[in-house]
Amino acid sequence: MSSFRNVHWLWLTAVVMLVDQVTKQLVVKHMALFETVPLMPHLNLTSLRNTGAAFSMFSDSSPIVFVLIGVAVSIGILMWMRRNPQGQTRVAIALALIMGGALGNVIDRVTRGHVVDFVDFYWGTWHFAAFNVADAAISIGAALMVLDSLIESLRSSSAPKAGA
């Protein structure tokens, strides 16, 4: 078996990074900071900058901290993907999405010193933390990992027991 196993899913990582960077560049080029464009009920396009992590946590930290974390996570994911058995497609897709999102935000931190966020979901006066394509890919990847874990847990609990 190839030593690269599920690394062929890296095309998905590249697509996430490309779409993320293109959408962020469009926001930076065509919207003023804090400008809001209503798209539909409960959804705005809002030009924001985030110097922190999720929900602007650790916003006083140096961008290099987040760059190092993103690179370390990506290296770990590459190793995991390389060792991940063929046929665990959900896991491979999840890892590719997470790595694409992590590297998309790393590119922002290296080139801009902050992350461009622009998706603004809200209900009444409550607004969810603004996010971007990279953040969405990370969240979808994490959800796929949880789903895969639940499916595997159900499979193993319903499998016939040896000696039964």
Catalytic residue numbers read 117, 135
Helix (H, G, I), strand (E, B) or coil at 52: coil
Residue 61 phi, psi (nearest 5): -75, 155
Tokens standing for residue 100: 């694409």
Tokens standing for residue 69: 């974390």
Question: Which secondary-structure segment (H or E) carries 107?
Answer: helix 89-112
Tokens standing for residue 85: 């058995």
Bridge partners of residue 121, in order along the sequence: 43
Tokens standing for residue 55: 């929900």
d(CA 118, CA 43): 10
Bridge partners of residue 38, in order along the sequence: 44
Q: What is the largest CA-CA distance in the chain?
A: 68
